[in-house]
Structure 1
Amino acid sequence: MDYALAPLRRYAQFSGRARRAEYWWYTLALVIASVVTSVLDNLLGWGGVVGGAYGPLTGLLVLSTLIPSLAVSVRRLHDTNRSGFWLLLFMAPYLVMAVMAGMALAQGNAAGALASVGLLGLVVLILGVVIFVFLVLDGTKGDNRFGPDPKAAERTGAYHA
């Protein structure tokens, strides 16, 4: 359970490296918490209150874990010796998609909006698979440009998540 809570203790720390265990245990804990809050929102009749998609409890969970989720993702990419800017590359098409769809809809061109969303959706899917593979890969053995190997530091007792 220590790995699942480590990203919360390192709330906004974007530097350094995160082991696969830290990232994936945190992700599992976040998925479980999301399911629990979603069920509670629906039981209380609050489902879809926030933006038509979330209940207030789920929305609060998403907002409160946004920064640690981004931080642990960046540190996980660092562990594979990749820059955290890969996440920006993954998120950029969403912004472009929104702008293009908005412009097409403003001109009354629903087909153009759908086409732009479809094409950029394919780009997002491909980038999502690439990011997923990076997150699954084992980290760089030994030190890399982002810091010392957390596995080696953990074995010597120097690592404190």
Structure 2
Amino acid sequence: MPYEPAKENVEMARTIVVTAVVGTFDLSGRARRTDLLGYLIISGIVGFFANFLLHFSLSFKASIIAGVLIQTAFYIPLPALFVRRLHDQARSGWFGLLILPAIVMQIYQGVAFATGTLPEGFFNPLNPARLAVSVFSLLCMVFGLWPGSTGENRFGPDPRQI
């Protein structure tokens, strides 16, 4: 008998991705931790396999550039999803600006690596730019995993109770 994934798991994964993509520019409402983590995990898996296939079908430089484009496409829904996650914690969406330096630095790193223009010492952990992005990334991770407020808040009803 062939393996068939549980319909609930497939439906949940589909719902997470559709909610993130449809709400790409929707900064209102609230999002659960499951929404953010699910989107990151699913986009990571899809990106990994896409880059794996690109590596074998394109030249090295072209596969890096295509990988950066795929990575950038997956980053587009993240700011709005992060803002909705902050709303779940009853925080202002302006804290969502914390995610932008991390995203921009990741895209820059991919483009600079593909074009061979990475500055000397870029990967040094004491590089001020890398250190700043690491701090921003850590703050985003903490805010993304912080539990949401219980019950309704000024941004809407509790997404766990809907």
TM-score by length of 1: 0.67
Aligned residue for 2:48? 35
Q: 2:34 aligns with which of 15, 18, 21?
A: 21
**Residues 3-14 of structure 1 aligned to structure 2 (within 5 Å):** 3-14=16-27
Unaligned runs of 5+ in 1: 99-109, 155-161
> Offset of 1:13 from its aligned partner?
1.1
> Offset of 1:23 from its aligned partner?
1.0
> Offset of 1:82 from its aligned partner?
2.1
- One-letter amino acid of the counterpart of residue 76, structure 1: R
> Offset of 1:16 from its aligned partner?
1.0
> Offset of 1:120 from its aligned partner?
3.5
2:135 matches 1:122: no
Q: Distance in 2 between matches of 1:91 and 1:123?
A: 12
Aligned pair in 2 of structure 1 residues 114, 69: CA closer, same or farther (>3 Å)? closer
> Offset of 1:63 from its aligned partner?
4.0
Unaligned runs of 5+ in 2: 1-12, 109-119
TM-score by length of 2: 0.67
Aligned residue for 1:102? none
Q: Distance in 1 between matches of 2:158 and 2:59?
A: 44
- One-letter amino acid of the counterpart of residue 73, structure 1: F
Q: Distance in 2 between matches of 1:47 and 1:14?
A: 38
Q: Distance in 2 between matches of 1:34 and 1:21?
A: 19
Q: Distance in 1 between matches of 2:38 and 2:70?
A: 17
Q: Do 1:38 and 1:47's aligned partners in 2 also have CA atoms closer than 8 Å? A: no
Pair member with larger Rg: 1
Deviates more, 1:75-84 or 1:12-21: 75-84
Give the count of matched residue pairs.
134
Q: Do 2:30 and 2:88's aligned partners in 1 also have CA atoms closer than 8 Å? A: yes
> Offset of 1:22 from its aligned partner?
1.0
Q: RMSD between aligned alpha carbons?
A: 3.0
> Offset of 1:138 from its aligned partner?
1.3
SS at match of 2:26: coil
Aligned pair in 2 of structure 1 residues 28, 118: CA closer, same or farther (>3 Å)? same
Q: 1:91 aligns with which of 92, 100, 122?
A: 100
Identity of aligned residues (%): 28
Q: Distance in 1 between matches of 2:22 and 2:123?
A: 42
Deviations 1:53-95 (A, max 9, x none): 332xx34433433332221121112112222322324535868
Q: 2:146 aligns with which of 110, 113, 137?
A: 137
Q: 1:68 aligns with which of 77, 88, 96?
A: 77
